[in-house]
Structure 1
Amino acid sequence: MPSFFAYPLEMLPYVVVTILIAFTIHEWAHALTALAFGDDTAKKQGRLSLNPLVHVDLIGLLMIVIAGFGWAKPTPVNRYKLKKRRLGSICVSLAGPLSNLLLAFIATGIMMLLVKQYGYSDSIWMNFLGIFIQLNVVLFIFNLIPFPPLDGYQILTEFLPMRFRAKLQPIEQYAFLIFLIIALTPLYNLTIGPIFNFFIPKITQTIQHFFLFLFF
């Protein structure tokens, strides 16, 4: 995701704070939804928490700062303990990305309310909210890409016959290496890049139009 993390150095604190919040809520949402469907694995491991230290992987956070992408500690889920296993698995996987979309929605509402009350200004809060909205939309889209080990892949596999899942397993062990090659080479502009370029403006504009209708 390099093109969406090319922020000026002075914006780096906003990016780090956003990622801490976004990753924490994302993983907490997975854990909470898993518990709602009967799997207490994450809760027993202390992952049903809003403490960023529980969820943030230090190397993953540093990679965001250095390379433009990163990761949090995956939330442990025992899908065989879930009630209505297929539905539960899909809901658990969806919970993380949807939490990021919800964060972007709330932040957009706050930004539009501030604009209505005080007018737009190039302030600390406006700069932070702008980054917060964009990165959460990026995380929403990115995590729904059907590529292992992302949430979109977990959702996809629930609709595939077992014979196809077995064929995909060899790819999973090389998924991280494949992703690095895609993200750090010109392949990005042929794969992930166009997805972001299309969906990020569409989603942010749709949310903005909702609040424009509501507030103005």
Structure 2
Amino acid sequence: MESINSIQLVAVMVMPVLFAITAHEAAHGWIASRLGDQTARRLGRVTFNPLKHVDPVGTLLVPLATFFLAGVLFGWAKPVPIDWRNLRDPRRDMALVALAGPGANLIMALFWGLMVQLGLAIGASFAWLATPLLLMGAAGVLINVLLMVLNLFPLPPLDGGRVLTSLLPPHWAMRFARLEPYGLFLLLALLALGVLGGLLWPVMYGVIHLIPGGDAALMVVANLMQQTP
């Protein structure tokens, strides 16, 4: 595989990132609509149009800045509005809505893993097609597993925090939910201290190894890390 620079690497990652964010957010809204809350559907958020979910700062500026400055891809999309009062069983259904996003990322990771396998099957005979499939597939596996595992971290406003809030007794759930305004700052602090990566990477690697094409995706990413200036 030929060496690519950072600009080309970003270009390869654009489609997997947009699909990962779009599927994640649309899944939240779709499950909410199935469980009684039509807020996201009325606002046009149950869609695969990435423009409906992109946050100019969180989806574009912050990921580009963290990637080029620190080699870490970090960001967020516009939250999908959910009115828990419209849900049939608010405590249970909020957990299901929260789990829908990481679940969508798992499905996307499986899809991109199959693209990696397809790229390997095509081989050098059709390098013009195999190379993009391998690069985008590897990026798609890594990005979607990262989003899935990160969002399951039990800290509000992440999906894992909302699931834990739904599982805690009401008194403790109210106290835990008060962390939400500070959740992003706590997450950034854990990231800066290296604690977050130490917690997430082992889980990510374990999940990737279970995905068809996951080991090959890791090899492609490792090769890119060595080649990219």
Structure 1 residue 209, shift from structure 2 partner: 7.1
Cα shift readout 1:142-162 (whole Å, capped 9, x = no counterpart): 000011100000000011122
Alignment identity in percent?
A: 31
Q: Is the 8 A contact 1:93 1:152 kept in 2?
A: yes
**8 A Cα contact 1:39 1:78, kept in partner:** yes
Partner of 1:146: 154
Give the one of 92, 95, 101 matched to 1:90. Answer: 95
Structure 1 partner of 2:69: none
Alignment of 1:49-64 (within 5 A): 49-61=47-59, 62-64=61-63
For 1:209 and 1:14, the matched residues in 2 are separated by 18
Residue 211 of structure 1 deviates from its aligned partner by 11
1:76 is paired with a residue whose SS is coil
Unpaired runs of 5+ residues, structure 2, are 67-72, 217-229
Question: What TM-score comes out, normalization by structure 1 length?
Answer: 0.85
Structure 1 residue 89, shift from structure 2 partner: 1.4
- Report the number of matched residues: 202
Quick check: 1:40 aligned with 2:38? yes
2:110 matched to which residue of 1?
A: 105
8 Å CA contact 1:34, 1:77 repeated in 2: yes
d(CA) in 2 for partners of 1:209 and 1:86?
37
Measured after TM superposition, the shift of residue 194 of structure 1 is: 1.8
Match of 1:173 in 2: 181
In 2, Cα distance between the equivalents of 1:31 and 1:92?
8
Q: Matched residues in 1 for 2:87 and 2:124: separation?
A: 48
Separation in 2 of the partners of 1:197 and 1:171?
24
Aligned-residue CA RMSD (Å): 2.3
Q: 106-115 vs 90-99, which deviates more?
A: 106-115
Aligned pair partner of 1:194 in 198, 201, 204:
198
Of the three residues 130, 139, 162, the one matched with 1:131 is 139
**What amino acid does structure 2 have at the position aligned with 1:180?**
L
> What is the deviation of 1:119?
6.1
Unaligned runs of 5+ in 1: 1-6
Deviation at 1:140, TM superposition (A): 0.6
